[in-house]
Amino acid sequence: MEEQGVGWIAAIVIGGIAGWLAEKFMESKMGVIMNIILGIVGAIVANAILGLFGIALGGWLGYLIAGFIGAVILIWVGRLIKR
């Protein structure tokens, strides 16, 4: 996260926002802690996937977008596994 110019505290705040946005978009019911985890892990997942295509998102806005995309993917995969 430091390579992208986002510190740990900012990663928690941005991850929480990204997780919350994904929760609302996917209409799921999760708590604040799960939203933060989804946003942070989602950003890591999305950056890895986007990196395969040569796309790099950096900074606060990039981290928020990647966190949202990744959190949506994680919620979707979680629903697939639950079924």
Packed helices 8-26 and 32-52: angle between N→C axes, nearest 10 degrees? 90
Neighbours of 27 (CB within 10 A): 7
Q: How confident is the model at residue 2 (pLDDT cuts 50, 70, 90)?
A: very low
pLDDT at 24: 93
**pLDDT of 1 higher than 70:** no
pLDDT in tens, 64-82: 999 999 999 999 998 899 8
DSSP 7-64: -HHHHHHHHHHHHHHHHHHHT----HHHHHHHHHHHHHHHHHHHHHTT----HHHHHH
Identify the DSSP state of 2: G
| 37, amino acid identity | I
Mean pLDDT value across residues 3-23: 82
Q: Model's pTM, two decimal places? A: 0.83
Return the domain boundaries, the chain: 15-82
CA-closest candidate to residue 45, choices 29, 63, 27, 28: 63
